[in-house]
Structures are given as structure tokens and as C-alpha cells.
A and B are shown apart, each in its own frame.
Chain A
Amino acid sequence: DAGVIQSPRHEVTEMGQEVTLRCKPISGHNSLFWYRQTMMRGLELLIYFNNNVPIDDSGMPEDRFSAKMPNASFSTLKIQPSEPRDSAVYFCASSFYGENYEQYFGPGTRLTVT
């Protein structure tokens, strides 16, 4: 079975540029999560979707961040314009909706903004 797929795996961009991260969840899962991980702050939940609908985006740091899930098999996280402090590893995870349901993480996208 294919796990959660993220692309690109690495992204280097200059400050001010638009960055789009992509995620394909595990087939059949109906919840999708975007996380950011840094050494200083650890893992932080940015936003999550249930059945393609954004449920909570309170973790999105600023209006420069936006996320979409046009269908059950695809989601994007966009940063526009990017800043050096956005440099981090961004993870996508998916699960069946429910309190104890396991989240399966993708391999992450390492973003470097210079």
C-alpha cells in the first residue's frame, strides 16, 4: 500500500516567492492534517480537514499561509510570500476520522527560504 505521498521532498526558494506543497493522503482516509516541525517548536498542527472541509485553521501562522483540499485525494499548502522564518519541515498526515484513529504521516517536505 502506498502511504501518504508528499512533494516536493525538498524545496529551496528565495524570500518573497510563492511556495506550494502537495499531499496525497492514503486512499480511503477522510481526515488530512498539515503540520510544521522545527527544532525550536517541535511539531505544530497548522490545519486539518474532515471530508475535504477545513475544520480548524487556527494553527496557520499568518494570512500568508493557505491550504486547500479540492478532493479526497489531494491537498495543497501554499505560502505566499515566503519568508526565511518559514523554513521548516512540513508534514502531511491522514487518518480515518475519529478520536483514537491513527494518523499516518508522509515523509515531509523540507523547505528552506533564503
Chain B
Amino acid sequence: KNQVEQSPQSLIILEGKNCTLQCNYTVSPFSNLRWYKQDTGRGPVSLTIMTFSENTKSNGRYTATLDADTKQSSLHITASQLSDSASYICVVSDSGGGADGLTFGKGTHLIIQP
């Protein structure tokens, strides 16, 4: 069964600090991996999407890495800001191409404290 596990479940850090969120998956075959940011009371918003051939992708202060061999991804946030407080969801797609091939992680709840 395809699974996506995210860690930690929740994280509290001080403003200005860096942090790294982890995503391990067992989805096979693999097509792409996405990271979403979900602010409280809002829908998820895409941060990055990575295919098999990509191992690093940046979006401002967000940098995602992908190791397709170990089936691991990380999302690194640099110089955190209060607005980074949100849930971060990892989503992995198999090569079927349809939406039914998406497997969602349960997310990491990140709190940035001033």
C-alpha cells in the first residue's frame, strides 16, 4: 500500500531560525512529489513539485530535496518568519497520472515564535 509519512508531526522554532521537515514515502512507481503549505483556515498552496530527475528545487526561502533512491524528501526553511507558521503537506504521485494516484501525508504543523 502506498504511504507517505511526515516528521515531525509538529515543530516550534524561533523566528529567524532554520528548520527541516521530512517526508518518507513508499509510493511506487514514482512520478512526482509536491510540497504544499496550508495556512490555518485556508486551502493548501503549492510550494514545489519535483520529478524523478530533480533532486533540489527552491522557492524563495523554501528548498526541497528529493532522494528517489531512498524515497525521502525534505523541505528546508531558511531564516523563518512568523508567516511561515502553517501546516506543510507532502504529496506523492505514482506514474498513473490520475488524481487517484496521489498519496497525501498528514502534514507537519510548524509554529514560528517571535
Chain A interface (Cβ < 8 Å from any Cβ of B): 4, 31, 33, 41-45, 48, 55-56, 58-59, 91, 93, 98-100, 102-103, 105-108
Residue in A45, A93, A98, A103 whose CB lies within 8 Å of B100: A45
Q: State the CA gap A59–B101 with chains docked (Å).
A: 12
Determine whether the beta carbon of A102 is less than 8 Å from that of B43. no
Closest to A33 in B: B99
Residues of B with C-beta under 8 A to A108: 41-43
Shortest CB distance B72–A (Å): 19
Q: State the CA gap A10–B44 with chains docked (Å).
A: 18
B88 within 8 A of A: no
Instruction: Tell which of B20-28, B45-53, B61-69 binds the partner.
Output: B45-53
Shortest CB distance A106–B (Å): 5
Determine whether the beta carbon of A100 is less than 8 Å from that of B51. yes
Which residues of B in the span 61-114 have a Cβ within 8 Å of any Cβ on A? 89, 93, 95, 97-100, 102, 104-107
Shortest CB distance A54–B (Å): 11
Residues of A with C-beta under 8 A to B89: 42-43
Residues of A with C-beta under 8 A to B99: 31, 33, 45, 48, 55-56
Determine whether the beta carbon of A58 is less than 8 Å from that of B100. yes
Interface residues on B, range: 20 to 34
B56 within 8 A of A: no
B7 within 8 A of A: no
Q: State the CA gap A38–B98 with chains docked (Å).
A: 23
Can you report 19 residue pairs joining A to B where beta carbons are below 8 Å apart?
A: A31-B99, A42-B89, A43-B104, A45-B99, A45-B100, A48-B98, A56-B98, A56-B99, A98-B97, A100-B31, A100-B51, A102-B46, A103-B46, A105-B44, A106-B43, A107-B41, A107-B42, A107-B43, A108-B43
Determine whether the beta carbon of A102 is less than 8 Å from that of B49. yes
Q: Which 8 A-B pairs have the closest CB atoms?
A: A105-B43, A42-B106, A99-B97, A48-B99, A56-B100, A43-B104, A105-B44, A91-B43
